[in-house]
Amino acid sequence: RTGAAPRITVIGLGYLGATHAAAMAELGFEVLGLDVVPEKMRKLEQGSAPMFEPGLEELLRAHVAGVEGSTGRLRFTDSWEELGAFGDVHFLCVNTPQKHGEYAADMSYVDAAVASLAPHLDRPALVVGKSTVPVGSAARIAERLAELAPAGRDAELAWNPEFLRESFAVQDTLHPDRIVVGVAGPRGEELLREVYAQPIAEGSPFLVTDYPTAELVKVSANSFLATKISFINAMAEVCEAADGDVMKLAEAIGYDDRIGRKFLRAGIGFGGGCLPKDIRAFMARAGELGASEALTFLREVDSINMRRRAQMVELTRDAVGGTLLGKRVAVLGATFKPDSDDVRDSPALNVAGQLHLQGAQVTVYDPKGMANARALFPTLGYADTALDAVRGADVVLHLTEWKEFKELDPAVLGEVATTRHLLDGRNTLDPQLWRKAGWTFRALGRPTA
């Protein structure tokens, strides 16, 4: 390189990579993206987002080459050779899902990406891992790069975990609350300071660590978040036994700065493509390292989380008189959280699926997640609107806290439901409002009336 801005590639264009690629273009870099799923790239090439993520499509349209009026800084290719020739900094953003039938992370996509890219690295380049991986992976990948790349040790590796939240991905990527980079030499730090110059100038802390610490920061942050949610859900269980109110309890403890108010919303628990699989992969890796005892509490975090889903099924059964067989259940929400179309390990869909398996007639409505939900659970019933889902229902379940559901009129829904039973699995609806309109309202961790 000769002092020009580093050219960037992004490998893997899912929730993380598509957002990262668009954000890098927004920061002014020339970016080339690659994904092994051709349909994803065709969508991106037209400036449309392969998933629903607020603000992403605007960013893509502003930068994807060929879109009218764009900067043209963001392009896509299916050629590894072109990718290798183009890039100074290569971001690895492929997914590391849970292995089938095991707790461990599936590293095959990461390993395949490294194997495809490395032979084309014939000049100094920095490969930057962003995927969430078991600790120790970076050191192993650095060795593989040195072995497979014609540039040898000049094909360097840095580990730069990503902390973005889905539904806030664009904002979190452009304005990260911290940037963590694990490096083995000074060049990685230097280049990444250049790439992240703008967020650093705006005040994002920049932390330089070794590889294992950077890998561990990511999984420990997600473990802490999962623990916080399961803690409050454990309190919800006790509240249910003692007729207390977990919402008041969370508010009261949250005023203590050391505890904080965020991530203390009790309900049917955490889901998505990250928290559940990350805590499991972390436990599996700690086991391999002979440190499993340090993380036995995460097993408890996981089981508290799964129990909340089961409790929701129990409450539903109670509400319809003890048996689910043939009962009509309206499910509001399918995604694992609002403002996303992601249904991976969604608590809402999991509850809907359990009810269906126990003989209930389940009708699901979600503002953005219908296509993904249908693909995953084709046997459930689906309705085009919340009102249609509720029509004829013996009980209504609120399982993902979309704003749209908060704005529903209980009186209008009451007219089309067979029985006015509302179960709030997310603790965001106003019990008084529903009770006033004649509904029996129950929520996890809260008094029955």
Strand ranges (E), 178-259: 179-183, 206-209
Window of 42-50, 79-87, 271-279, 372-380 that interacts with ligand UGA by CB under 6 A: 271-279
Beta bridge partners of 396: 330, 422
Q: Is 406 in the site for ligand UGA (CB under 6 A)?
A: no
What is the rounded CA–CA span in Å between residue 184 and residue 348?
43
Contact pattern from residue 320 through residue 339 relative to ligand UGA, giving x for each residue in contact according to CB under 6 A and a dash for the rest? ----------------xx--
Q: Give whole-number Cα distances, 95 to 60, 108, 170, 340, in Å.
A: 21, 9, 18, 18
CB 79 → ligand UGA: shortest distance, Å? Answer: 28
Q: Is 369 in the site for ligand UGA (CB under 6 A)?
A: no
Q: Is 188 in the site for ligand UGA (CB under 6 A)?
A: no
Task: Copy the structure tokens of residue 305.
Answer: 């989380």
Q: Which amino acid is at 22?
A: A
CB 442 → ligand UGA: shortest distance, Å? Answer: 18
Going by C-alpha positions, the residue among 223, 165, 98, 93 that lies closest to residue 340 is: 165
Q: What is the DSSP letter of 99?
A: P
Pick between residue 47 and residue 267 the one whose CB is nearest to ligand UGA. Answer: 267
Strand ranges (E), 258-403: 328-332, 361-365, 381-382, 395-398
- Establish whether 93 is a catalytic residue: no
Q: Is 234 in the site for ligand UGA (CB under 6 A)?
A: no
Cβ–Cβ under 8 Å, residues 313 and 307? no
Pick between residue 14 and residue 47 the one whose CB is nearest to ligand UGA. Answer: 14
Q: Is 142 in the site for ligand UGA (CB under 6 A)?
A: no
Q: What is the DSSP letter of 98?
A: B
Q: What angle do CA 316, 322, 324 make, to 5 degrees?
A: 60
Q: Is 297 in the site for ligand UGA (CB under 6 A)?
A: no
Give the H/E segment covering residue 31. Answer: strand 31-34
Catalytic residue among 274, 331, 355, 383: 274
Q: Is 272 in the site for ligand UGA (CB under 6 A)?
A: yes
Q: What is the number of H-type helices and E-type strands within the chain?
A: 19, 14
Q: Is 405 in the site for ligand UGA (CB under 6 A)?
A: no
Q: Is 163 in the site for ligand UGA (CB under 6 A)?
A: yes
Q: Is 176 in the site for ligand UGA (CB under 6 A)?
A: no
| Residue ranges binding ligand UGA (CB under 6 A) | 132, 162-166, 222, 225, 229, 263-265, 267, 269-272, 274-275, 278, 336-337
Residues annotated within a binding site for NAD(+): 35, 40, 96, 132, 166, 277, 344
Return the active site residues: 274
